Amino acid sequence: MRRTSILLAAVCLALAGCSSGEEPEKKTVTVTATVTPTPTATPSLSQAETKHQCSIAVAEAAPGWEDWNYSPGEWQEDPRTPEVCLGLANEEWPPDGNRAFMDALIDGLDMADHPHAD
């Protein structure tokens, strides 16, 4: 019994020493973050601005075109389509994008004074 009391007292003292109520020592951790600069996004143009730039690009490119068979639904994949015109595509409602491109195409041909514009 005496042995049990001594053992119990030792355990209690050990536990009391572990939870002395003092704050545990705080360690300072330094974190170094590497920031990778992101490329600046090109400001998006309005539909009207994109259409106008597309017309200009068509006017510049049109004199070199020999084949005028543009498919209204496949103009995005056509290698003759100026890159700026791809901004006219409308994924939610493709007919709107198709119409916007065809309008820009005709305007561009007018600017170039090309016979296919009529």
74-107 tens-digit pLDDT: 899 999 999 999 999 999 999 999 999 999 999 9
Position 88 scores a pLDDT of: 94
Highest mean pLDDT among 34-38, 69-73, 96-100: 96-100
Find the helix packing angle between 47-61 and 94-111, rounded to 10°.
50
Neighbours of 94 (CB within 10 A): 13
Q: What is the mean pLDDT of residues 45-64?
A: 91
Whether pTM exceeds 0.85: no
How many degrees, rounded to 5, is the angle at CA 83 between CA 81 and CA 89? 80
Could you report the per-residue pLDDT of 13-25, keeping only the tens digit for each? 555 555 555 666 6
Which residue, 94, 95, 70, is CA-closest to 81? 70
* % of the chain residues with pLDDT over 70: 58
CA–CA distances in Å: residue 26 to residues 22, 31, 32, 73: 12, 16, 19, 66
